[in-house]
Each structure stands twice: as structure tokens, then as C-alpha cells.
Amino acid sequence: MDARLEAIRDTVLARNPGEAEFHQAVTEVFESLGPVHDRHPEFLEGAVLERLCEPERQIIFRVPWADDSGRFQINRGFRVEFNSALGPFKGGLRFHPSVNLGIVKFLGFEQIFKNALTGMPIGGGKGGSDFDPRGRSDAEIMRFCQAFMTELYRHIGEYTDVPAGDIGVGGREIGYLFGQYKRITNRYESGVLTGKGISWGGSLVRPEATGFGTVIFAEEMLKTRGLSFDGQRVVVSGSGNVAINAIAKAQALGATVVACSDSSGYIVDEAGIDVDLLRQIKEVERGRLKEYQARRSAVDYVDGGSVWDVDATVALPCATQNEIDGDAAARLVRNGLLAVGEGANMPSTPDAVAVFQDARILFGPGKAANAGGVATSALEMQQNASRDSWSFAHTEERLTEIMVGIHDRCAATADEYGDPGNYVLGANIGGFVKVADAMLAQGLI
């Protein structure tokens, strides 16, 4: 790392002790930015990095709610409004027991660059709670969402901060959150949340957008080597929103997706995952992946273990952060891996990224490859602002244009900075320069 940036990075780490994921995300971005500061000394003079690493606002709040037995439960809520240089804070809410300030900050930090790469007018933020939705009834989920919004509502708004979904927050939760916002504020403010239901202000393609976008990005990477998804053997981790839609799109492009996972285990279906059955189990019945095996022949279910033990030519990690370590990466590379498209945020550890890059694997980092979700959220905001709703085909076409654009911008930036094919460098520099220019133009804020 450039010595000037290393000193700033060390200060950021010391000011934010114990936030391992945030430290990792900051370090990864700083490692790319030395050459930018050679060309743009004004970024150092303007203390852009110091400002960028300090969120504009961090909100931590109590979320008190009653479970079905009437017992009071207390969770912790977070919203980190990281950077609004390009537009209102924008980023999802994660409900998962692992959520803490460091995780929300890593996600919010990544979101700044991702949102910049989309070319849409959105800043970066993220939020969530350590609430665990698994095993909770619909009524409990609703009461939790209402309690969460009872504090969050005063911090968000169409022109201020626009949350959406992430792990544990899908259409059902966005519905309960929106309902409570409307009730408290007495405003039908469609643009305050994205990922809404289609009949009440949502956008077609938003549910599919992150998974579809990840595959579109990976297809563009494959094309640079004269390849495509057609005939590839694909492994996907997770079986939530991003994973299911990545599987659907990869198979639509001719790949065979042979495995996917949840936090309990993974399935191997050599004939190709039956997406309709997977959707039925995970989205309709809210069941566990294990149930897939009993309903289809010739499927293996592995309890525990790692889905990255299954060989693939294309890997699409779509579950969570740091799920592929250096050993798993090395094994995949030894067994014929060609490309990785990160549907999840920071799913590859720094060791894994180094393995992929050393082996010249096509590696699409999450902040570029999974930007289709937030980009389509911005399209949802556009539709809300103009009281319009677009067709599936039109919205998907816009998503495709945006993902191809992000790919090309990352590739061109990597070329410009002398490291062709390095999408990590391209994404970090491409996103950073846009935000840094806007921050300097807006003065010391």
C-alpha cells in the first residue's frame, strides 16, 4: 500500500477498534488508490480519504418488541449514513444475528463506491439489526419491523436516506416497514424505501436484479476471453434472493448450476438446480434447503461443510462476507475455475482474492458485480418520482445497460491505470474518483 495512504488507513483503524470487517473493506479499497493520489494530489490536500472513512452520521437504537408469547424482546438497530456526495444515502437493511456496527460500516463503505459505479444519483448507507428472523412467525416479523421503523422513520426520507432489503429483509419486511412509516408520518412517500410490492410502488425486476446483474457482469467478463455462460458448470452459495435469481439467469444463459447452499448445508444436483422447486421451498414455504433433496431424484445433500468443495468453472458466491477463504480459492483454481462473480458483499477473503488474481481468474468484486440491485432500486425511485411504472422488458433492458456499463467502466479504468483485467482496481478507482470529485466540489462538509 502507498505509504501516504497507509498512514491514513492506520488512523482509521485506530479510531474504529474491533470493527474487523470495516477494517478489511477500508484496507482493500486503499490498496487500489495509490496511483490515483499521484495523479490527483488535491484529494490528499482535501482530506478526502479521512472524510470518506468517517460516516456523516451513525445511528444506533433500541428496538423493543413483544414475541408471540408476550415476552418483551430487545434488539439493537443501526443506520449508518455514510456519504451523500452523490445523492441521498442509499443501501439495504440486514436482519441477522451477526449484525454489529463493524458489519454495517463495512457494508455502508462498500455501498458508497458501488452506488457511484451505477452512475445513478445515490449516496451510500446501510443499516440493520441483530434480530434473527429465522423461526419467527409472520406476526413477530411484523411487530419487529414496526418497532424498528418507529425509530428509523425520523432519519429517513425520499431526499435524505432510502433503505431497501438485504439478508433477512425481503418484500414481506419492506411491506411492514413501509406500512409503519406511512402510519407514523401520514405520508404516502413511495420513494422512502425500495423493494416495495409491485401494486404499491415497487419496480418490476427489482427482486431479480441483484442475481441477474451479477450474472450479466460475469458474462461480460467471460466475453473478454471469448467465453460465455453457455456450457459452464456453476456453483452458487446461498439460496436467498440473490442466489436464486443468479441461478435462474445463469441457467437461462445455458449454464448448469450444480450446487447451492444455506447456512445448514448444501445440495448437489448434477442435472441442474430446479429453480421453480427451489423458489417454492425457499420463497413460498420459507423452508430449509435440505427439503429439496426429498422432492427431486439424484440429489445429494451435505449437512454442514462448504459448497466450495464442489468443482466449478464459474463460482457465484451469493451468501455472505468472507465465505471463500484462500484454501477454498486455491482448490477451486486447481480444479478448473475460470471466473468468479461476487453476488454477495465481500464474500472472498483477501487471501482468496489474491489467489484468484495471481491465477488470472476473471474476478468481479461485489461492489461492481452485485450493483444491479441498487441500480434497479434507483430505477424504482425514478418510477416513483414520475408516478410511472415500467414494463419488465424495459426495466430489464435498463438493468442490462447499467451492468454492461459498470463492467466496461471498471475494465477501462483498469486499463487506464496499467493493470488490464483487474476489476478490483477498476471498481475501486472508478467509484472513488466520482465520489472524491463531488466531495471536493461541495466544499468542506
* Residues known to be catalytic: 126
Q: Which of 241, 313, 349, 383 binds ligand NDP (CB under 6 A)?
A: 241
The C-alpha cell that represents 327 in the structure block: 484454501
CB 53, min distance to ligand NDP, A = 20
Interacting span for ligand NDP (CB under 6 A) from 7-15, 147-155, 178-186, 340-348: 340-348
Pairing of strands 57-66, 72-83: antiparallel
* 215 lines the binding site for ligand NDP (CB under 6 A): no
* 194 lines the binding site for ligand NDP (CB under 6 A): no
CB 62, min distance to ligand NDP, A = 24
Pairing of strands 233-237, 124-129: unpaired
Contact 83, 52 (CB under 8 A): yes
* 319 lines the binding site for ligand NDP (CB under 6 A): yes
Task: Enumerate residues 6+ apart whose C-beta is below 8 A from 49.
Answer: 5, 8, 30, 33, 43
Give the CB-nearest residue to ligand NDP: 240
Q: Which of 262, 269, 380, 396 binds ligand NDP (CB under 6 A)?
A: 262
Cβ proximity to ligand NDP, 125 vs 238, nearer residue: 238
How many CA atoms are closer than 13 Å to the CA of 439, on its beta-carbon side? 27
Residue 84: strand, helix, or coil: coil
d(CA 296, CA 306): 21
* 370 lines the binding site for ligand NDP (CB under 6 A): yes
Sign of the alpha-carbon dihedral angle for 238, 427, 112, 114: negative
* 373 lines the binding site for ligand NDP (CB under 6 A): yes
* 348 lines the binding site for ligand NDP (CB under 6 A): no
Q: 286 in the Ramachandran plot: left (φ > 0), alpha (ψ -120 to 50) or beta?
A: left
CB 59, min distance to ligand NDP, A = 19
CB 206, min distance to ligand NDP, A = 8
Contact 129, 103 (CB under 8 A): no
* 240 lines the binding site for ligand NDP (CB under 6 A): yes
CB 346, min distance to ligand NDP, A = 8
The C-alpha cell that represents 74 in the structure block: 430487545
Q: Segment 148-187, which members bind ligand NDP (CB under 6 A)? A: 165-168, 170
The C-alpha cell that represents 119 in the structure block: 452512475
> Which runs of E-coded beta strand occur in 269-325?
300-303, 314-317
Interacting span for ligand NDP (CB under 6 A) from 31-39, 64-72, 343-351, 382-390: 343-351
In the complex, which residues of this chain contact ligand NDP (CB under 6 A)? 165-168, 170, 210, 238-243, 262-264, 318-320, 343-345, 370, 373
